Chain A
Amino acid sequence: MEAVLSATEAHALEAHLAREDTPNRTARKGFFTDTTICIGCKACEVACKQWNQLPDDGLYFTGMSYDNTVALGASSWRHVAFVERPVPLGGQTAGDLSWLFLSDVCKHCARAGCLEACPTGAIVRTEFDTVYVQPDVCNGCGYCVVTCPFGVIDRREDDGRAWKCTMCYDRLKADMQPACAKACPTDSIRYGDLDELRSIAEARVERLHENGVTEAYLYGSDAASQPGTEGLNAFFLLVDKPEAYNLPPDPVVPTKRVKDTWRSFAFAAIGMAAVAVSSVFAARGVRG
């Protein structure tokens, strides 16, 4: 094993492997999370922590149903939300209480606010169309934290960098599915080609409607249903308003509406320069 590649050869080989050897690598990958079959077991949270070797966030009691994770954060990349409602689900015959679960995750948006705002280029789009933060580049400026319309990404203070779900980038490169999807006992979390997931999801909604769960709908499955983000690579099937699960009803990537701001920036800058120059002229004029 003495064969040594030159840098150019190695690069060409890598590019070839990425493009040719594994045909599924260039496809758009994503998650479809079906909340109607989630049982709230939190296996996804555990699998994520374990595979990615994430530290804990402390153990405490919140009183928020069974949710003691509270929210996604720098070291919680899956979070199961527990929604207790005093209203029955469509087609439900026993009792008038319903309990909804949603395993929340980074949405890997088609237009990602964090990626577009990142000043260092640490946040990149991978060959699987997912959004990935490179920990060796991130300098912890914290801008992505306020630009994510879902409040997903966060900076860990003792670490100093921003972290979020990588969709198990290391596993995807080895042709494995992400740890959460692998661990999910009911297939509430599905991983796969986005197009395939969408047709599965649409069929599932139809089936639920037939069974009387008429409130079922897809959240962020494509650009048409969520123009602000141009669709989510990790989309959901919900049975209540997005707000109930702490999801924004109409998220918009910040760069989509910043044009007006740049325009008023230009006017204000020209205005200040004009005021400065005319102040000097006027002061000279007074002197005569």
Chain B
Amino acid sequence: MRHDGRDIDIALATLSGEGAQQIVSGEEEQVQKFAPKPYGKVPGSEGADVTYYDRPMLKQSVWSVDIPIYYFLGGAAGAAMTLGAAVQLACRDCQELREFSSVCHWTGVIGSTAGAAFLIHDLGRPSRFINMMRVFRPTSPMNMGSWILAAAAPASIATGLFINRGGFLGRVGELCGYISGVFGTMLAGYTGVLVSNTAIPAWIAGRKWMPVLFISSGAASAASVLDLFYESPMAQRITLMYGTAARAMEIAAAHQVERAAAEVERVAEPFRRGGTAVLWKGAEVLTAASLVVSLLPAQSRRTRQVAGVLGLLGSFTMRFAVHYVSNASARDARASFRQQREGVG
């Protein structure tokens, strides 16, 4: 007899049903994990606002912290690749920035490969990650993202290796730099489409601004990293401009997402109350602080570092806020019900 919650004696029967291969770790742990708290209220006592025993209507995401970490790494990497390609394009002849361009691309290499590792780690069956490349499916932003990542990461590695070489390899590096610039830009933004292509009320409410939020957050963190680790007067001017635009846009986009959600009051609840609101507001405050510090009249290496650290923390917190807001939103059946009743689902 197998003790896996099936109570099938395999000496007498075969396991061949559609769900027979479902792996069960242990019955006791399952009970601990799934058992809900007993419902104590009298049914129907809440009047007009009907729900099913306050149970969630949707499933919340099964993603762990790996996913917000990936949003952050992928976003920073993608935006750094964009900047690397921009330097190549706008500064073909200046020697001063050749090194900066390759630093940008190496930031892209580190971010995208580490990000891919987190993505694979989060899969239920990590050994099957390659199945992502089994199909080409434009209706699935996650599938599109896999292809984008598969193009951007190798291209950035080739760029980092070859861009400062002479001759044929140098030209290959140059070309790969542009390729990784294009795919890097998409890498920074597709995750915004991915979260909007769901049934989670808080995510779909902000669907017009999510890509803007993700791209600007990526650019802000890329500028912060480069500020922290690369010293050169001209590169600093570039990252200051890139970073200022990105941080301002990140704050603006976050405001727009919240405003769009507030169209239905209940949907905006996770942005405004509880732990998720602390994350969300905290991210905005950190990014705003970084913006202020980076624009102080008296600039030194120290102020740049402070701005960089604040900017990184702001973007990092923003990714976690987006993740946890969705879980709170999925648990609230009323948010979906009202959103759909008001015709904005």
Contact = CB atoms under 8 A, between A and B. Distances in A.
A246 B333 contact: yes
Contact of B23 (A63, A118, A158): A158
B38 to A, nearest CB: 4
B188 A250 contact: no
Query: Chain B, interface size: which category?
Result: 35 or more
B18 A272 contact: no
Interface string B6-17: 101000000111
B219 A159 contact: no
A142 B19 CA distance: 18
B330 interface: yes
A71 interface: yes
Interface string A95-136: 000000000000000000100111111100000000000010
Nearest to B17: A53
A257 B197 CA distance: 8
B228 interface: no
Given A57-B34, A158-B24, A52 B208 contact: no
Contact of B345 (A85, A250, A281): A250
Contacts of A135: 21
Contacts of A75: 19, 22
B298 interface: no
Nearest to B237: A283
Interface in A150-197: 150-163, 166, 168-170
Contact of B44 (A85, A152, A161, A284): A85
Given A58-B34, A117-B139, A142-B61, A161 B343 contact: no
A62 B38 contact: yes
Contacts of B131: 120-122, 137-139
Contacts of B34: 57-58, 60, 73
A271 B245 CA distance: 10
A55 B24 contact: yes
A279 B17 contact: no
Contacts of A77: 19
Nearest to B119: A141
Contacts of B22: 54-55, 74-75, 156, 159, 161, 163
B86 A117 contact: no
A139 B129 contact: yes
A276 B83 contact: yes
Interface in B169-209: 181, 185-186, 188-190, 192-194, 196-200, 204, 207-209
Interface stretch (B120-128, B273-281, B300-308): B120-128
B19 A261 contact: no
Contact of A146 (B5, B50, B200, B242): B200
B63 interface: yes
A10 interface: no
Nearest to B326: A146
A286 B220 CA distance: 22
B113 interface: no
A121 B25 CA distance: 27
B215 A272 contact: yes
Interface stretch (B140-148, B151-159, B282-290, B314-322): B140-148
B329 to A, nearest CB: 10
Given A148-B199, A283-B238, A58 B30 contact: yes
Contacts of A283: 234, 237-238, 241
A260 B59 contact: no
B207 A260 contact: yes
A243 interface: yes
Contacts of A272: 79, 82, 185, 188-189, 215-216, 219, 246
Contacts of A65: 43
Contact of B198 (A56, A121, A122, A147): A147
Nearest to B97: A280
Given A75-B22, A135-B21, A146-B326, 18 more contacts: A52-B18, A54-B17, A60-B36, A62-B39, A84-B43, A118-B143, A120-B143, A121-B135, A137-B134, A139-B132, A147-B197, A268-B211, A268-B216, A269-B186, A272-B79, A272-B246, A275-B246, A276-B83
17 contacts: A56-B6, A71-B56, A73-B34, A119-B137, A145-B59, A148-B59, A151-B199, A246-B52, A248-B337, A261-B192, A264-B208, A271-B215, A273-B185, A275-B219, A275-B241, A276-B86, A280-B238
Interface of A: 51-65, 67, 70-71, 73-75, 77, 81, 83-86, 113, 116-122, 135, 137-143, 145-163, 166, 168-170, 228, 240-241, 243-252, 254-255, 257-258, 260-262, 264-265, 267-269, 271-273, 275-284, 286-287
Interface of B: 4-6, 8, 15-27, 29-36, 38-40, 43-44, 50-53, 55-63, 79, 82-83, 85-87, 89-91, 94, 97, 122-126, 128-129, 131-132, 134-135, 137, 139-143, 145-146, 181, 185-186, 188-190, 192-194, 196-200, 204, 207-212, 215-216, 219, 234, 237-239, 241-242, 245-246, 326, 330, 333, 336-337, 340-341, 343, 345
